[in-house]
Chain A
Amino acid sequence: MPAAPLLALRGVCKRFGVVEVLKDVDLEIHAGQVVALLGDNGAGKSTLVKVISGVSPADKGVIEWEGRTVQIRRPHDARDLGIATVYQDLALCGNLDVVGNLFLGREIRRFGFLDEMEMESRTIGLLERLTRAIPDLRAPVVSLSSGQRQAVAIARSLLGDPQVLLLDEPTAALGFEQTNEVLDLVDALRERGMGVLLISHNMGDVKALADRAVVLRLGRNNGFFNVNTASQEQIIASITGATENVPRRAASYETRW
C-alpha cells in the first residue's frame, strides 16, 4: 500500500514500575483495513490500546498519524486525531442515561444549555445503525443488559466519525447473534475506509474479518501476518510462542532473552 498508514507505532515502550509491559512494539493501521491484535493473556494487548487512546501514554517510541509524528498524552489528543476506542470494560458511566453516555464530553448545546432533544434524536439514529433495540434511552446504563451496554459503547465510539477505531474484545460479552451484528458492523466500517484494530481471542472471527494480524508475545512483536495467506497454525504458533515460523526479527529477540 503506497499511502502512509493512518496510524503507525514505532518502537513503543511502556513500563509499570519494574515490569516492562511493552517493548519496542511496531504496528501499522491502514485506511480500509482491519488489523487483528492477537496474543496470550498478559501479552500487552490492552496496554497497547491504552497507549494509543492516550489513557496511559507510551514512555518511549514514535506515534505517526498519516505519516507525521504526533504526541498522544491524554484521551483528548487521541480523540482530536480521530481515534475512537471501545474499551474492554466499556468505560461507561452507569448513572448516566444512554444519551448522556453517548455525548459525554461533547454535548450538543443550545443557548448554552444541553440540547437533550437533538442529542436524543441523534442517538436514535446511531443506535438504529447498530440494529439494536434499547427500550428506554433515558434509563441509566446500569440497568441495561451487557449486550445493550456494548451497543452503547460502540455507538459512542462512532459518534465523532473517527478514522481509526480500536475495539478491545468487543464480542467477549455477547451472544452468537449479537457477535455477528458487531462483526457485520466492523465489515461495514472497513468498507467506509476506516482503519480498525480488533482485539479478539476468537480465531474464527479473526480469519473471517481481519486483513492483517499482529501478534504480541510478552510485550514484544512476535509476528506480522497476512491473514488471507497465513495458516491458522502459523498464527497460533506465534501466539503461544512455539518457535517455528516465527519471523526472524522477533526470533532474535527471543534468543537474546
Chain B
Amino acid sequence: MRDTAEDPQAEGAEPVAEAGPAGGGPVALALRSGGEAVRRRFRAGELGSFPVVLVLATVWIIFQSLNANFLSPRNLSNISVDIVGTGMIAVGIVFVLLLGELDLSVGSISGLAAAIFAVLNVNNGVPEWIALVAAVLAGTAAGAVQGYSCAKTRVPAFVLTLAGLLTWNGLMLAVLGTNGTVNLDENGLVAKLTTYYFTNDAVAYGLAAVCAGAVFTISYLDRRRRVAAGMRHRSMRYIGVRTGALAATAFVSAYLLNRFQGLPLALLIFLVVVAGLDILLRRTHYGRQVYALGGGVEAARRASLNVTGIQTAVLAVSGTMAAVGGLFLASRISSVSQSSGSGVLLLNAIAAAVIGGTSLFGGRGTTWSAVLGMLVIQSIASGMAITDTPTAIQFVITGGVLFAAVLIDALSRRSQEAHGRA
C-alpha cells in the first residue's frame, strides 16, 4: 500500500527545484477521490466514532425489543437531560485524555462546586449568578493548581489528581458544614437548568435547520476556496451526504423532543459547549498544541511549545467542566449533599470519554466522544431501569462496553503502528 513511498523513482526526479507554485502533483492528488483516503484511514486503524455508533444502535435495538417504551419520546427526552451533568464532566476528561493523562479529581471538584454554589446562594443569600460564577471559577482554580503542579513536578496527573480527589472532597464537606444536605431554590436559575424546556416546536426545528445550514455553508465555502486554489477538495456529493445525515439526525431528534416537552435547555447548553470546545480543539492554535502534546511531549517542547502552560490550561478546562457538570447534577436533583460528586460519577465520566472513542494513549479523540459515550452509558442505565434489571447487571454490562472500547482503542493503535513500520 505504501510502496510508492519507497520507490526512488517517485515523481519529480530533479534535485531541489525552486519552491515554485504547486505544479502537477496537487492536481493529480485532487483528482483522487476522497473515498480512497477514507478507506485507507479505516484500514490504518482510524475508526473514529464508528464503533460507538454501532454499540449505541445495538443497545437501542435490544432494549426496544425488550420494552416498547424505551425509544418513546418521553424516555429519549429524559436520557437527553440525564447525560448532561456527567457528560459535561466527560468533556473535560476528553481534554485530559488527549494529553495522555487522567484526571481523577473531577468528581470531587463537581461536588465542591455544587456545594459552594448551594452554600453561597441558599445559606448566605448571595445572588444566584454570582454564586454560579464563583462555583465555576472554583473549579477552574482547582484544576489550574493541579495542572501547574503536575507540569512543574512532572508527576503523572493521575497521582496528583488522586491527592486532589481527597483534598477537594474534604473541602466540600467543610463547605457544607454539619447540616449535610442543602436544597436548592426550585424556581432558581440552577434548578431551571434541567427543568426548562423550549415548549415552542419552532425552537427545536429552527436550531436543527440553522445547524445543518451552518455546517453546509462552512464545508461549501472551504471547498470553493480549495477549488479556486487548485487544491485537493471534497466532492459535492460527500458534502451533501454529510450535511444530509447531520440534518436528518437533527430533525428526527427535534421531532422526538417536540413530541414530549420540547427542546430541553440542558441539552441545548450541552451541545453548544461540546461544539464550541470541538472547534477550540480542532480549529485553533490552542487545540493543535493540546493534540501535539498528546502525540509527544518532547517533540512538542522542541517545537517551542509552552508545555507548562498547556498542561495547566488543560487541567483548568477539566476542572471548569467538572464544576459545570456538578451544577447540572445538583440541578437535576435540586439539592446538594455530602454524597454529591461521589460514587460512580468519576468512573462514568472517564468511561464515557473512552467509550466514545477518545484514546487512553493520548492525542486522539474529540469532544463529541463524550456525548456518544454518555448516550451509551445512560441508555444502558435507562434501559435497565425500564426493564427492572438489577444494578449489578447494569455495572457488568457498562463494564463490558468499556472493556470493548479500550480493546478497540489498543488494537487500532497497534494497527496504526504496524502501518508505520510497513
A-B interaction: yes
Distance from A71 Cβ to chain B, minimum over Cβ atoms (Å): 15
B284 touches A112 (CB 8 A): yes
Q: Mark B15-42, 1 if CB is under 8 A from A, else 0.
A: 1111111110110000000000100110
Task: From B22, B44, B279, B298, give the contact of A125 (CB < 8 A).
Answer: B22
Within 8 A of A (CB), among B265-295: 279, 283-285, 288-289, 291-292, 294-295
Q: A91-B298, A133-B10 are in contact. Are A181 and B37 (CB under 8 A)?
A: no
Chain B residues with CB under 8 A of A245 = none
Instruction: Confirm or deny: A79 has a beta carbon within 8 angstroms of a beta carbon on chain B.
Output: yes
Chain A residues with CB under 8 A of B18 = 129
Cα separation A136 to B16 with both chains bound (whole Å):
21
Q: A94-B296, A117-B222 are in contact. Are A188 and B417 (CB under 8 A)?
A: no
Cα separation A143 to B42 with both chains bound (whole Å):
12
Within 8 A of A (CB), among B220-276: 222, 225-226, 229, 231-232
Instruction: Confirm or deny: A121 has a beta carbon within 8 angstroms of a beta carbon on chain B.
Output: yes
Instruction: Confirm or deny: A177 has a beta carbon within 8 angstroms of a beta carbon on chain B.
Output: yes
Chain A residues with CB under 8 A of B298 = 91
Chain B: residues with Cβ within 8 Å of the partner, total of: 59
B25 touches A128 (CB 8 A): yes
B16 touches A184 (CB 8 A): yes
Chain B residues with CB under 8 A of A105 = 289, 303-305
Task: From A53, A114, A143, give the contact of B302 (CB < 8 A).
Answer: A53
A114 touches B288 (CB 8 A): yes
Cα separation A120 to B230 with both chains bound (whole Å):
12
Within 8 A of B (CB), among A162-194: 175-178, 181, 184-185, 188
B283 touches A131 (CB 8 A): no
A121 touches B231 (CB 8 A): yes
Distance from A104 Cβ to chain B, minimum over Cβ atoms (Å): 4
| Residue of A54, A130, A133 contacting most chain B CB atoms (<10 Å) | A133
Q: Mark A52-94, 1 if CB is under 8 A from B, else 0.
A: 0111000000000000000000111001000001010001111
Cα separation A147 to B226 with both chains bound (whole Å):
29
B22 touches A124 (CB 8 A): yes
A126 touches B416 (CB 8 A): no
A93 touches B363 (CB 8 A): yes
B302 touches A185 (CB 8 A): no
A95 touches B363 (CB 8 A): yes
A55 touches B420 (CB 8 A): no
Instruction: Confirm or deny: A236 has a beta carbon within 8 angstroms of a beta carbon on chain B.
Output: no
Chain B residues with CB under 8 A of A32 = none
Within 8 A of B (CB), among A123-148: 124-126, 128-136, 138-140, 142-145, 147-148
Chain A residues with CB under 8 A of B303 = 75, 91, 93, 104-105
Cα separation A202 to B294 with both chains bound (whole Å):
35
Task: From B14, B231, B285, B363, give the contact of A131 (CB < 8 A).
Answer: B14
B301 touches A55 (CB 8 A): yes
Distance from A159 Cβ to chain B, minimum over Cβ atoms (Å): 11
Distance from A193 Cβ to chain B, minimum over Cβ atoms (Å): 15
A96 touches B25 (CB 8 A): no
Chain B residues with CB under 8 A of A178 = 8
B292 touches A93 (CB 8 A): yes
Instruction: Confirm or deny: B68 has a beta carbon within 8 angstroms of a beta carbon on chain A.
Output: no
Q: A93-B295, A114-B285 are in contact. Are A135 and B301 (CB under 8 A)?
A: no
A107 touches B5 (CB 8 A): no
Distance from B159 Cβ to chain A, minimum over Cβ atoms (Å): 24
Task: From A124, A142, A175, give the contact of B25 (CB < 8 A).
Answer: A124
Instruction: Confirm or deny: A10 has a beta carbon within 8 angstroms of a beta carbon on chain B.
Output: no
B296 touches A92 (CB 8 A): yes
Cα separation A13 to B300 with both chains bound (whole Å):
26
Cα separation A108 to B41 with both chains bound (whole Å):
26
Q: Mark A27-68, 1 if CB is under 8 A from B, else 0.
A: 000000000000000000000000001110000000000000
B37 touches A136 (CB 8 A): yes
Chain B residues with CB under 8 A of A177 = 8
Cα separation A177 to B10 with both chains bound (whole Å):
11
Distance from B128 Cβ to chain A, minimum over Cβ atoms (Å): 32
Q: A55-B301, A74-B304, A125-B22 are in contact. Are A145 and B292 (CB under 8 A)?
A: no
Within 8 A of B (CB), among A184-242: 184-185, 188
B416 touches A142 (CB 8 A): yes
Closest residue on chain B to residue A188 by CB atoms = B16
Instruction: Confirm or deny: B411 has a beta carbon within 8 angstroms of a beta carbon on chain A.
Output: no
Q: A133-B11, A135-B2 are in contact. Are A117 and B291 (CB under 8 A)?
A: no
Q: A104-B292, A175-B8 are in contact. Are A91 and B304 (CB under 8 A)?
A: no
Distance from B229 Cβ to chain A, minimum over Cβ atoms (Å): 6
Instruction: Confirm or deny: A113 has a beta carbon within 8 angstroms of a beta carbon on chain B.
Output: yes
A107 touches B12 (CB 8 A): no
Using A95-B291, A128-B12, A131-B15 as known contacts, list a sample of 5 further A-B pairs with CB atoms less than 8 Å apart, ordered by residue number in A.
A54-B304, A91-B296, A114-B283, A121-B26, A135-B4
Which residues from chain A sit less than 8 Å from chain B, CB to CB? 53-55, 74-76, 79, 85, 87, 91-96, 100, 104-105, 107, 109, 112-114, 117, 120-121, 124-126, 128-136, 138-140, 142-145, 147-148, 175-178, 181, 184-185, 188
Which residues from chain B sit less than 8 Å from chain A, CB to CB? 2, 4-6, 8, 10-23, 25-26, 37, 40-41, 44, 46, 222, 225-226, 229, 231-232, 279, 283-285, 288-289, 291-292, 294-296, 298-305, 362-364, 416-417, 419-420, 422
Q: List 8 A-B contacts (CB under 8 A).
A: A91-B296, A121-B231, A128-B23, A128-B25, A133-B11, A139-B44, A142-B416, A144-B5
